[in-house]
Structure 1
């Protein structure tokens, strides 16, 4: 990933989203050639020189202090996730060339754990959103059209980002298509900023940018947000509408793997639909 270009693009998108009157500045000049704050105005708000901020935005200055980055983040009204992302881009880790890593796999204990989760769709993802394992209900919920053993083949494992933007079945699974796409790209931005030297992650971004205009347009806006919990709507081909809570938990000592789990409100139609999905797909295990 071209870190200087990413940093400049991120800062420009955030500057463009603010007007002088939004931050208490008096707009000078009668015509503005670009939307949002000018570099000079942003530098004034952050308390840094315009020349320094320009070098930072152009990727010509590295090693900015926490104080400077905090000041810029406050001036741009960045969220905590965006502030972390700014730090990752402004001070990327210095790493040499690494050999291609071996394909990751879910630990046997993790596989046993999700297999024991009756009634809970569960999926294990690596940091690139490749599916490393799923229990029967997790498979039935998000990818019942794919073979159940697909995660066991490292060469063509399902990838939730690729599925969302390139797979017709997955596109129809989410009624709030735009919201789900924004959430996916926001999460991918967080990971890409934290792992700028990950070749396979960069290849995924490049593939999606080339093949999906929707992804390319969202990626260019630099949405940044950790989407670790919330609610998702589904329109499942077998059981219809579901409204499910989700939680994504980082697995310790796993190289960035996460456990994604779904659940329904007790007594709700979604709980009944989830139970029906278990029975229809054989994911239900009688006690």
Structure 2
């Protein structure tokens, strides 16, 4: 899908999500055949002609100026992430790198030292496609303990956390409110896809997820955009039970991001993480027990 097609799809999706009453457009009680605003109504709010706006939606216009894109963003009530995303999609006529394979994503020595220093804080290094490039022991135990500890060290077989979230039942079951976590991941992937239109592997991943998961395809069609920064999730871990974590993304521009999971001091969630650290430490030091095996053991019943 090229930039102009993506721009049109984004504009149509966000226009359909904006109700006339949200922006003060009178309807005079008429029955409307289309959801959201009409093209001419959005054009009026943005201060552009209806014919020009229609050409943008239909991919017939080569490009839009930054000023016009800002006006459309205001009319659509986009936040800052949405505005930047609109500008990324609108730069279809600007020179971009084409046909060049993106440089492999690498974990720097500084990042590895950070993972080690975090110790009892679960942490994982994610590439732009959500590939797990590295994790510390507790990050592995919390997010994907059923996989091999050394999986991120194999570039051709690295776990992809977005793929796991939608297609792996273990990871899916980790989140009590799975739809909230899933929508956050999809909204972030929307941003990344517009920023890296030349990344064939990324777009292949998106195509795979749309084909294999109806839920991903539905969320992708919503065109929601938001970076993953800070969010609170209730998790249901198969070893230690429920715990509430704050997932924070420590951005590294350019480069991979470090995602950490923190818990409130003195809380049951902090105690659950300590128990998980103890359980996985025992599992990795026990002779004959492979990494991840502890996650396959049945949980003890209540007394």
TM-score, normalising length: structure 1: 0.93
Extract unaligned runs of 5+ from structure 1. Answer: none
Partner residue of 2:294?
none
1:75 aligns with 2:85: no
> Helix, strand or coil: the match of 1:246?
strand
Q: Deviations over 1:88-139 (max 9, x none)?
A: 1111452243333453221122112201212111111111110110000000
Question: Is the Cα contact below 8 Å between 1:136 and 1:283 reproduced in 2?
Answer: no
Output one character per residue of 1:14-46: Cα deviation in whole Å (capped at 9) or x when no partner.
111223232222226944221111111111111
Structure 1: distance between partners of 2:24 and 2:8 = 24
Q: CA RMSD in A?
A: 1.7
Partner secondary structure for residue 159 of structure 2: coil
Matched, 1:118 2:116: no
Tell me the residue number matched to 1:11: 11
Identify the residue that residue 273 of structure 1 maps to in structure 2: 272
* Structure 1 match to 2:38: 38
2: CA distance between counterparts of 1:35 and 1:113? 48
Retained in 2: the 8 A contact 1:62–1:91? no
Q: Which segment is superposed worse, 199-208 or 53-62?
A: 53-62
**SS in structure 1 opposite 2:245?**
strand
Q: Tell me, yes or no, if the aligned pair for 2:46 and 2:72 is still in contact at 8 Å.
A: yes
Contact 2:15 2:36 in 1 (8 A): yes
Judged with a 3 Å threshold, the aligned counterparts in structure 2 of structure 1 residues 64 and 101 are, in CA distance, closer, same or farther, namely: closer
Report how far residue 253 of structure 1 moved.
Answer: 4.3
Give the aligned length.
282
Partner of 2:300: none
Larger deviation: 53-62 or 19-28?
19-28
Question: CA offset at residue 283 of structure 1?
Answer: 8.3
The normalised TM-score by structure 2 is 0.89
Distance 2:227 2:214 in 1: 23
- Per-residue deviation, 1:6: 1.4
Matches within 5 A, 1:254-269: 254=255, 257-269=256-268
Q: Indicate how the Cα distance of structure 1 residues 28 and 38 shifts in structure 2: closer, same or farther if over 3 A, else same.
A: farther
2-side partners of 1:98 and 1:9: how far apart?
Answer: 24
Give the Cα–Cα distance (whole angstroms) in 1 for the partners of residues 164 and 65 of structure 2.
Answer: 39
Give distance in 2, aligned partners of 1:50 and 1:184: 34
Deviating more after overlay: 204-213 vs 4-13: 4-13
1:130-141 to 2 correspondences below 5 Å: 130-141=131-142
Q: What aligned pairs does 1:80-119 form with structure 2 within 5 A after superposition?
A: 80-92=80-92, 93-119=94-120
1:205 matches 2:202? no
Change (3 A) 1:253 1:42: closer
Question: Secondary structure of 2:129's partner?
Answer: coil
**Preserved CA contact (<8 Å) 2:97 2:198:** no
Q: Does the 8 A contact of 1:122 with 1:260 survive in 2? A: yes
Question: For 1:274 and 1:238, how far apart are their aligned partners in 2?
Answer: 10
Deviation per CA, 1:174-202: give whole Å up to 9, x if none. 11011111111111111111112211110
> SS of the counterpart of 1:116?
helix
Mean Cα displacement is larger for which, 211-220 or 115-124? 115-124
